[in-house]
């Protein structure tokens, strides 16, 4: 069973406010060491063609923090593990994020693939179709012009998407798109597993091996169905459903 792992920032600065998505350098290296020994880590695009039952993993980073270049990449080089960086196009050059030259440097690295994370990291499910279309097209255009390479992979900001957005993503030229538990887990809402500072090695192994994804995805879809009133009620004389209803 394969897992697509989601990182954001690898950093640990004394006095810095706590961030649930921030992982220390030491813990990150411990995770990479485990992956290099126990899993086959492949470029993200290879997960598009491999069986979901294959024991492979892929590493992704969202947003485009500068420490992805200065801290994460040297460790990925050490263990020779590939990664895909989903960059928020409008954040390039902001404080704490990659500059255009740094993004271009990463794009040239043989272990790195660049994808889009939207133009301004907005909630796509709250956008009009027109605005969503603009974000998808413009983020690709900007990133392509910066790195002089095709950009055809997308990660939905906040992991949020729906059936209409999945179709729109394909129409806007993306080969594949990834969410976090949302959507159909199809070509344009493939599920990923988020990592953060609460993940000790036991939790990390559960996430990297796919076990966590099986249970967590069902839980999130159950909650979505419950909120939307789509759970099947128990009927007298009929046994309650044993599975979880789909939130598609």
Residue 143 pLDDT: 98
Q: Is the pLDDT of residue 4 over 90?
A: yes
Q: Is the pLDDT of residue 237 over 60?
A: no
Residue 227 pLDDT: 63
| Cβ neighbours of residue 36 closer than 8 Å, sequence gap 6 or more | 79, 80, 81
Nearest to 107 by CA among 65, 150, 165: 150
In which band, very low, low, confident or very high, does the pLDDT at 19 lie, cut at 50, 70 and 90? confident
Q: Is the pLDDT of residue 51 over 80?
A: no
The model's pTM: 0.86
Residue 241 pLDDT: 37
Q: How far apart are CA 86 and CA 16, in angstroms?
A: 24
């Amino acid at each position: 069973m394969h897992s697509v792992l989601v990182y954001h920032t690898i950093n640990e600065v004394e006095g810095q406010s706590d961030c649930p998505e921030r992982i220390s350098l030491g813990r990150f290296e411990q995770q990479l060491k485990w992956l290099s020994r126990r899993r086959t880590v492949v470029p993200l695009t290879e997960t598009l063609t491999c069986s979901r039952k294959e024991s492979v993993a892929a590493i992704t980073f969202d947003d485009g923090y500068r420490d992805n270049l200065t801290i994460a990449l040297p460790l990925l080089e050490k263990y020779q593990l590939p990664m895909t960086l989903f960059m928020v196009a409008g954040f390039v050059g902001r404080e704490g994020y990659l500059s255009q030259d740094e993004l271009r440097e990463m794009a040239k690295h043989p272990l790195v693939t660049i994808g889009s994370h939207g133009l301004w990291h907005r909630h796509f499910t709250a956008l009009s179709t027109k605005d969503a279309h603009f974000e998808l097209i413009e983020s690709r255009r900007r990133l392509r012009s910066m790195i002089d390479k095709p950009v055809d992979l997308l990660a939905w900001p906040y992991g949020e998407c729906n059936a209409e957005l999945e179709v729109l993503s394909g129409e806007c030229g993306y080969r594949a798109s990834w969410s976090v538990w949302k959507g159909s887990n199809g070509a344009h809402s493939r599920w990923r597993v988020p990592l953060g500072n609460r993940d000790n090695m036991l939790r990390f192994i559960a996430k990297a091996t796919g076990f966590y994804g099986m249970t967590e995805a069902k839980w999130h879809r159950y909650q979505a169905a419950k909120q939307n009133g789509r759970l099947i009620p128990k009927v007298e004389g009929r046994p309650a459903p044993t599975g979880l209803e789909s939130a598609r």
